[in-house]
Amino acid sequence: MKPILNRRELLIRSGAGFGAIGLAATFGEQLQAETTSKMTSAGDLGQSGDGLHHPAKAKRVIFLFMNGAPSHVDTFDPKPALEKYAGQPPNEGNGKNREGGFMPSPFQFARHGDSGIEMSELFPNLAKRADDLCVIRSMHTDVPNHEPGLLLMQSGHQQPTRPSIGSWLSYGLGSENKNLPSFIALCPGLPVVGPQLWSNAFLPGIHQGMEVDTNEKTVDRLIANLHHPTMDGESQRKQIALIQQLNQMHKSGLSDHNLLNAHIDAMQTAFRMQTDATDAFDLSKETTATRTMYGESEFARSCLLGRRLLERGVRVVQVFYVRKGQKQPWDTHQKNNEGHRKLCGDADQATAALIGDLKARGMLEDTLIIWGGEFGRTPYAQMNKSDDLSKAGRDHHHTGFSMFLAGGGIKQGFTYGETDELGMHAVQHRVHVHDLHATILHQMGIDHTRLTFRYSGRDYRLTDVHGKVVGDLII
Amino acid sequence: MLRYLIFLTAMIHLLLQSDFSIADEKKTEAIQFFERRIRPVLVEHCYECHSATSKIIQGGLRLDSSQGMLSGGDSGAVVTPQDPQSSLILDSLRYEGLEMPPKGQLSEQVINDFQKWILDGAIDPRLDNKTPNDKSQWDLAEERKKWQYQPPLKHRLADQSSDNWSRTSIDGFILSQLEQNGLSPNPPASKRDFARRLAYDLTGLPIEEHLLSRFEADEKPNSKTRLVDALLNTPQHAEHWTRFWLDISRYAEDQAHQVGNNDSLNYPNAYLYRDWILDAFASDMSYQEFVRLQLAADLVAPNESQHQAALGFIGLGPKYYRRNSPEVMADEWEDRVDTVTRGLLGLTVACARCHDHKYDPISTEDYYALAGIFASTDMFNQPLNESVEKNGDQSKQPGDGLHIVREGKPRDLAVMIRGDVNNQGQVVPRRFLEVLTTKNKRYTKGSGRAELAESIIREQNPLTARVIVNRVWGQFFGRHLIDTPSNFGNLGSKPSHPELLDTLAVDFMDHNWSLKWLQREIALSAAYGQSSDREELKVTKDPENRLMWHMPQRRLTVEQMRDTMLVAADRLNPVVKGKSIQPDDPTSNRRTLYSKISRMDLNRMLANFDFPDPSSHSAQRFETTTPLQKLFLLNSPFAIAQANAIATRVKNISRSDESRIRELYRLVLGRPPSTEEIDAGYGFLENEMDQKWQAYSHALLISNEMFILD
């Protein structure tokens, strides 16, 4: 066994895994009684609700990730000047099929809410939530390629060797619900890069995101091995009671109980999880009205499921906007406009529903929502010479793009930063991915420079040697 | 402020003693200005992040010496005397570009002072001590005196006359430290516990019934020796220890990500490297040869085709997306340097990729000297035979190739300043780490891999033997003599028993670097033979068991666990070596060692049970206990299939419940049940449920006793 550095780790490891739990009842009727226990309150780990280094504004986070990268100039960053330069090739950079030149967005932009946040007509539902949003128009990242871009956004590093942000948060804060994992990745199909995006890398295995394929609709298909394929619940209860009885007999002959107790507790939690997770993942418990509000797509299901998980104390929910066989739907190299119309329509409804739902439940205040992709798309067209402009796509673009945040102590109805006249580069109040990470951690009560893990001879952190909390975004 | 006034007075006093000129006078004024208006601001607002005492020197910039200010940091010089326009520090103070200090903008007055000071020539009397770009901050002669850079020496214990506990060369060192701390070793473990522990540590499998009964009946001296030797000479021993090495060499069969359906970077024949390791362990190849071949078989044994697979040590390393672009190749070299240095030398050399190592005497020059070796080495899919389709010299399909390395164009790398491929410093010749060599010889033969191998395995290298001895020790005792087995540097942990580690390392080398010798020496020690009991009084004195007064309780690894389930079900396929399997497939019955290891999508069962991330070298495994593990054990098709097979065996053997229960305990736990346990069994069997025997067998199969080693 390897000695671990921090108190929370010790708690987690010596406890049953998903949180430190007391020496729970072990078998017989007591076990049965345990199955009725549902949610546990925040703060099982002592400080988890209070933040690790300073008071937390957000207790949980849901990252709605638009795989493939949405186009900023078609969504949150209106660029009327593109009309003026339409058809003119950009005079910088290089890339294929750029004969189409700058391409104005065909979508109408308007100001919404009291705050007057501008967004395109593709978001009719989010428009009604404008006063809840904090749009960042000055994001930038290091490279315009999906793999490194995704890894940087999810783990702060371009190579697949570092823990994901969800794993870091799990490591730092533990879980609020001992019967569910602290970090869950919802993905109806694998995104580009794949499981590395929710990897714990060198952090202990318990901090790995639990991957759930939201194409599946029944809970047993959502979580592997949650239920015995043939044994009924009552029989399994008796079986587990027997296991725990055997474990007690085994323990009584030995003088060292720490490890044995950890295993007994983990078995206990597994048993409770069968009930709790069944409940958490069962969307049929939602009203028709709620389900209709979110929509019918895979993404909508993920968002609704995400809300159920957040509600039950899951610390980090990562929703990937992918589909079976479509690893990055937002990568609109062709027919950008048509693609964005469909994608935004879907994302708009479910995202707005999630914000409204969390707000109605009083959870938006301490839940941080993050929406965006690994970078943006070019303000100029990507097309073959022979194509007509309506089929034009937009290429990858990393030097300026938009994301938005909501809830979790972030300013509401606020637009931050600017790209230049044509949407090419973030020029004012630039926010790098590392800065975003630092800010997310800050809201969760973590100083990004102090959440470290000693590995391979040095202290690693999510933001490496970079990152600065963007104080302007915070209430 | 008082401090500065005193300093100022002293400074002026000094100046007054020298010959004065008008120029000097002007300079004195300038110094006074600096001391009054500039230095206090720097101290108060800048030193926290930009001085020798900063925890992290931000942006590589030091503002605590004139040299630091003039040479600047990552963004270049911050002060250009007499030229405020080009002085970055003014832009930063004005919050144009960088915004410094970050806590809030300083007053207009302060900014004007800086402008005036720069205009007047930026006179700065502060003496330089060390500046960030000094060649090396380490005094190598001094550093070489530290224990880890001194060759290990054999130690002798003074008086062993009263010691009748010790069995092998290890024990005297353990005993003397225990006694010094008022502790005594635990009594020996029961023969059963010992045999079970030993079989798992040597072969990864439960002790076979006939070996156990023979050992229990063996009253003659040296009964342990006979058992140890029997186990050491099984192919299962080599299988078990192969996995030990695959953690170190970050064995995997693919890449962490793949572009579209392009699988050309994958390693479908990686298993041939695994087979090579297994053969090497089975034949007890000397560790020197073992390392030499893995680094340079193509150079040192070019005609021995059976040894080329050893090169998978480098050749199965990660290949990253957009490889061949300079940044990405720099990342790949880092993997090679990291695997070699942490894996074989216990040094974290990759830390020195961007800057000199902060804690160990390793410079960026050292890093690039090693990286150059791998920059001069190419990844290579060697055609498996003459008939396969080729692309140049390589097999066209990865499935037709052996994934190894070969010589590339030899070249030296330039230091990349702060790791930036576009910011190149001086070129460094390929060579070994300076702290480990006295006269630093350049590598001249091709890439230098063969010379690197020699530098690593030569007896004078103070680290290599210690590192492997410490690793092997950890496999037996659950903790290492040095708790950070891949970091013997200054931030690593100190050895709990330095003399023991050194003596064992020397003896290991004297025994032809034989890993079987080492394992035998450890397995036969009295220390390893202790019970795992934890007496309260002893726990109080040494709660962490640093002094090794008892054997720890351990959980089986995922390999041992799954293999044990197969053994209990009598389904383990004994075939040794070969292609990979999916370990959680209920029909797969080969040892877990043969699992397909994916960097892209590591098998869920393996990942859940603390298997290390195969994207990089793993120093040691974590041991976590989670409900997801239990769900796998309770409900997975794999576990159910084994439980059902056991139930069938039990039911076939006997008709009475009691004899079936006895049979179940024999098959699963290798011992008879107690009365209490038989009663528990009866109690369970009284339940009304389908497939009672399957459920009962399953319960026993996943009970704690199965997975906990005493």
In B, which residues are within 8 Å of A190 by CB distance? 601
Q: What is the pLDDT at residue B685?
A: 95
pLDDT at A403 over 80: yes
Partner residue opposite A226 with nearest CB, options B331, B487, B631:
B631
**What is the mean predicted confidence (pLDDT) over A5-15?**
33
- The lowest-confidence range among B96-100, B131-135, B374-378, B658-662 is B131-135
pLDDT of A254 strictly over 80: yes
Q: What is the pLDDT of residue A389?
A: 81
Q: What is the pLDDT of residues A298-340, one digit of tens each?
A: 999 999 999 999 999 999 999 999 988 788 999 998 899 999 9
By Cβ distance, the residue of A3, A228, A256 closest to B532 is A256
Residue B12: pLDDT over 50: no
Give pLDDT, residue B132: 41
Residue-wise pLDDT for A158-181, tens only, equals 887 799 999 999 999 988 888 888
Which residue bears the tokens 């009691």? B658
Query: To 10 degrees, what angle do helices A7-14 and A165-173 make?
Result: 90
Confidence tier at B33 by pLDDT (50, 70, 90) = confident
- pLDDT at position B397 over 90: yes
First to last CA, chain A: 44
CA distance A182 to chain B (A): 12
Tell me: pLDDT of B405 over 70. Answer: yes
User: To which H or E segment does residue A339 belong?
Assistant: helix A336-360
Strand ranges, E, within A141-209: 183-186
Among B257, B483, B494, B709, which would you mutate to test the A interface (most chain A Cβ atoms within 10 Å of its Cβ)? B257
Name the minimum distance, in Å, from the CA of A148 to any CA of chain B.
Answer: 8
Distances in whole angstroms, Cα of residue A182 to Cα of each of A11, A115, A366, B104, B195 = 14, 35, 16, 37, 40
**Residue numbers in A near B634 (CB within 8 A):** 225, 228, 236, 239-240, 270
Q: Is the pLDDT of residue A201 over 90?
A: no
A235, A263, A457: residue with CB nearest B487: A457
DSSP states of B332-349: HHHHHHHHHIIIII---G
Contacts of A393 (CB under 8 A, 6+ apart): A332, A333, A334, A335, A336, A339, A381, A382, A383
Is A457 within 8 Å of B259 when comparing Cβ atoms? no
Closest of B50, B52, B117 to residue B79, by C-alpha: B117
A367-372 vs A401-406, strand pairing mode: antiparallel
pLDDT surpassing 80 at residue A377 = yes
Task: Identify all chain B residues contacting A147, using CB atoms and an 8 Å cutoff.
Answer: 257, 259, 321-322
Q: Which two tokens stand for residue A82?
A: 């593109």
Whether the pLDDT of residue B274 is over 60: the answer is yes
Give me chain B's average pLDDT, please.
90
Q: Do A205 and B608 touch (CB under 8 A)?
A: yes
CA distance, residue A235 to nearest chain B CA (Å): 6
Question: Distance from A243 to chain B by nearest Cα, in Å?
Answer: 5
Over range A44-69, report the average pLDDT.
Answer: 80
Is 60 exceeded by the pLDDT of residue A455?
yes
Structure confidence at residue A41 as a pLDDT band (50, 70, 90): very low
Predicted pLDDT of residue B34: 83
Q: How confident is the model at residue B24 (pLDDT cuts 50, 70, 90)?
A: low
Q: How far apart are CA A151 and CA A160, in angstroms?
A: 7
Are B628 and A210 inside 8 Å of each other by CB? yes
ipTM: 0.79
B640 and A159 within 8 Å at the Cβ level: the answer is no
Mutation test of the interface with chain B: which of A175, A212, A243, A261, choosing the one with the most B Cβ atoms within 10 A? A243
Q: Whole-number mean pLDDT of chain A? A: 85
Compute the average pLDDT of residues B106-121. Answer: 85
Task: Give me the mean pLDDT over the B150-176 stretch.
Answer: 89
Cα B307 to Cα B310: distance, rounded to the nearest angstrom: 6
Helices and strands (H, E) in chain B, number of each type: 30, 8
pLDDT attached to residue A404: 98
Residue B686, number of CB atoms within 10 A of its CB: 9
- State whether residue A112 is helix, strand or coil: strand
Query: Which tokens in the block code for residue B689?
Result: 């449920």
Question: How many C-alpha atoms does A473 have within 13 Å on its Cβ side?
Answer: 35
CB A378, CB A396: distance < 8 Å: yes
Q: Is the peptide bond before B235 cis (omega within 30 degrees of 0)?
A: no
CA distance A473 to chain B (A): 16
Contact across the interface for A195 and B634, Cβ inside 8 Å: no
Give the other-Cβ count within 10 Å of B556's Cβ.
Answer: 19
Q: What pLDDT is recorded for position B677?
A: 96
Q: Average pLDDT of B312-323?
A: 93
Which helix (H) or strand (E) element contains residue A382?
strand A376-382
Instruction: Give yes or no for residue A33 having a pLDDT over 50.
Output: no
- Quick one: pLDDT at residue A93? 62
| Structure confidence at residue A29 as a pLDDT band (50, 70, 90) | very low
The residue behind tokens 């044509």 is A422
pLDDT in the model for residue B100: 87
**Average pLDDT, integer, range A271-285:** 90
- In this structure, what is the dihedral angle of CA atoms B495, B496, B498, B502, given to the nearest 10 degrees? -80
Q: State the average pLDDT over residues B405-427.
A: 92
Indicate the pLDDT class of residue A22, thresholds 50, 70 and 90: very low
**Type of residue numbered B357:** H
Task: Enumerate the domain spans of chain B.
Answer: 2-119, 247-457, 554-617, 635-709
With an 8 Å Cβ cutoff, are A457 and B359 in contact? yes
pLDDT in the model for residue B15? 37
Q: How far apart are CA B315 and CA B303, in angstroms?
A: 19
Is the distance from CB of B347 to CB of B360 less than 8 angstroms?
Answer: yes
* pLDDT for B58: 80
Q: Enumerate the residues of chain B whose CB falls inside 8 A of the CB of residue A161.
A: 613, 615-616
- pLDDT at A418 exceeding the cut of 90: yes
Instruction: Lowest mean pLDDT of A99-113, A362-376, A444-458, B292-306, name the range.
Output: A444-458
pLDDT tens for B319-372 read: 988 888 898 999 999 999 999 999 999 999 998 998 888 789 999 999 999 999
- Least trusted range by pLDDT, from B494-498, B538-542, B583-587: B538-542
Above 50 in pLDDT, residue A46? no
Give the Cα separation of B695 and B525 in Å (integer). 41
d(CA B559, CA B564): 8
pLDDT at B227 over 90: yes
**Residue A9 pLDDT more than 60?**
no
Using an 8 Å CB-CB cutoff, list chain A residues near B685.
none
What percent of chain B has a predicted confidence (pLDDT) above 90?
65
pTM of the model: 0.76
- For residue B1, what pLDDT is reported? 39
Q: Region A276-296: what's the mean pLDDT?
A: 93
